[in-house]
Structure 1
Amino acid sequence: MSTRTRRTRMFVAAALAATALTLTACENGEGVVDEGASSGSASTSASTDSSSSSSKESGGTSTGAGQSDSAGSTSEGSTGGAAGSGGTTGSKGSSGSTGSKDSEPTSTRCSTTSTRTTATEVSRPLNHLLLTVTNTGSKNCDLIGYPAVRFGEAQSVPPAFEDSKPQAVVTLAPGESGYASVLLSSADGSGSNGYTAKSLAVYFDKGASAAANPSLPAKGVHVDDSIRVSYWQSTMADALTW
């Protein structure tokens, strides 16, 4: 056998051996394929662990932030609710019913049904009659303006001394009295159309519909066209000034 033929056989045998090794490796699942799978699995596992770790960290932070926000929101909501509740209570506390009761009038106009009226002739000043109205009721009442008086059959009521008008309405508590004076006639005799009156009707103000009828002295009182009245006063002294 020649040297060339021997070399050719050796080359073919080496090629066949290499081919057999390759086929054997593919059939038993080892070799390059196994190494590639192991490497891929390790890489995938590492990637999964890394993602899981990142996810946990991110999720933890997100959850913490969510809890914080949720807690903050709940706290603010509770505070707001409390404030709203407080506002409602305040609104109830300032209910209109109490204000209405406070604003109700504490007195009314004096009437003949809850008062007693007297007419007294005084020595000073001359020719004056003192009217006294006493509250016999259980509530306060007001004497407003000045009395409208009618002596005998007179058709008109005398005017008032405007300067006698008080600063405020005269209010009578139960048992208290208010006063007004009547100038019956001029002291110097200069008055005209004089006459003697034996009856008197007293309306507490010009708008009153009912009159008190106090008694006059038995001899009556002399009246002329000088007659005037004072506004209602809280004291006798103030009334007899006019």
Structure 2
Amino acid sequence: MRNHRKNTVLAAAAIAALSLGLTACGGGDGATGAKDAGSAGSAQVTVGTGDSATATAAGGTADQTATKNGSGSTDGSTSGGSTAGGSTGGSTGGSKAGSTSGSTSGGKSSAEAPACAYGDIKVTAAKADEVPTEHIVLTATNTSGRSCTLLQYPLIAFGPIQTAKDVPAVAKSKPAAPIVLKAGEPAYANVRIALGGVHEDNKVVNEFNVNLFAAEGPAEGSIVVKAPAGGIAVDEAAAKTGYWTYELRNGADEF
């Protein structure tokens, strides 16, 4: 009986030892397999980053590789985003073109210069270089500080305004367009005052009045003009005036 128990104990011990040996061998294979699997996974990731086809063949994740290589979001935002075709180029070009065309077209339109009033103009008189004196030259200078239009011809009265004879204008001296004077600029009119020589109807004039035209006719107010030194001998029956011009012209202003 004692021998049988002893044999039984030895048999049990032998079986236990055999089980432990098998477990140790199995554990070694499992660790090696896990290590190999980890290495293979690592290799797949490394290969996959360089070549998606190789990663797929090796069992790697092709989706991860494609996402990394494709860079869809990065490339798309750079080439098709706001920088290439969006707000920067569009707003700059549009606003620049719009402001340029607007300011250019707006600058072309300007109001016409108003008619010169008697307070805008200074008129002086000088004798023509001739003996005896038959003509004087009137110079009208814009003293208003702004542009104004000098219309028609000077309305001259060689005596009291209420009774003086109107001095008619010579049609051939009329310019093609109204005379627009900038601030400080002059205009001229040639005036015949007599036919020369001594005449019983001549009268000595030391000063006279000049009126201007407005758009609708003679303007209100008059300019008192001093005659050249020594006065001028005026024959009202022979007196004529030219139109205002930028400069006196041979032929047109000779009468």
State TM-score, norm by structure 1.
0.52
Confirm or deny that 1:119 pairs with 2:139: no
Deviations 1:174-208 (A, max 9, x none): 2x53221112355699xxxx775856332233543
Report what 1:183 is aligned to: 192
Distance 2:188 2:60 in 1: 98
The residue that corresponds to 1:10 in the other structure is none
Q: Given residue 223 of structure 1, which amino acid in structure 2 is its aligned partner?
A: E
For residues 20-43 of structure 1, the C-alpha deviation after alignment (integer angstroms, 9 at most, x for no partner) is xxxxxxxxxxxxxxxxxxxxxxxx
How does 1:126-205 map onto structure 2 within 5 Å? 127-152=134-159, 153-154=163-164, 156=166, 158-163=168-173, 165=175, 169=179, 171=181, 173-174=183-184, 176-186=185-195, 196=203, 198=205, 200-205=208-213
User: What SS is found at the alignment partner of 1:210?
Assistant: coil
Which residue, out of 78, 81, 102, partners 2:83?
78
Distance in 1, matches of 2:240 and 2:171, equals 7
SS of corresponding position for 1:132: strand
Distance change in 2, residues 1:210/1:70 (3 Å): same
Coordinate RMSD, CA, aligned? 4.5
Look up the match of 2:100.
Answer: 94
Q: SS at the partner of 1:213?
A: strand
Output the CA distance in 1 between the equivalents of 2:78 and 2:126: 86
Q: Secondary structure at the match of 2:213?
A: coil
The answer to whether the aligner puts 1:212 opposite 2:218 as a matched pair is: no
- Alpha carbons of 1:181 and 1:170: their partners in 2 closer, same or farther (altered >3 Å)? farther
The 8 Å contact of residues 167 and 236 in structure 2, kept in 1 or not, is answered as: no
**Alpha-carbon shift at residue 231 of structure 1 (Å):** 2.1
Paired with 1:61 and 1:155, the residues of 2 have a C-alpha distance of 106
Structure 1, unaligned runs of 5 or more: 1-51
Deviation at 1:163, TM superposition (A): 4.1
Cα pair 1:122 1:128 within 8 Å, conserved: yes
- Going from structure 1 to structure 2, the CA distance change for 1:116 and 1:169 (only over 3 Å counts) comes to closer
Measure, in 2, the Cα distance between the counterparts of 1:168 and 1:55.
Answer: 93
Determine helix, strand or coil for the equivalent of 1:133: strand
Paired letter, 2:244: W
Task: Tell me which residue corresponds to 1:221.
Answer: 234
Equivalents in 1 of 2:114, 2:214: separation in Å?
Answer: 16
Provide the aligned length of Structure 1 versus Structure 2: 183
Determine what percentage of the aligned residue pairs are the same residue: 23
- Could you tell me how far apart the structure 2 residues matched to 1:118 and 1:230 are? 15
Tell me, what secondary structure is at the counterpart of 1:94? Answer: helix
Unaligned runs of at least 5 residues, structure 2: 1-54
Matches of 1:56 and 1:106, distance apart in 2: 81
Shift of residue 132, structure 1, vs aligned partner: 1.9
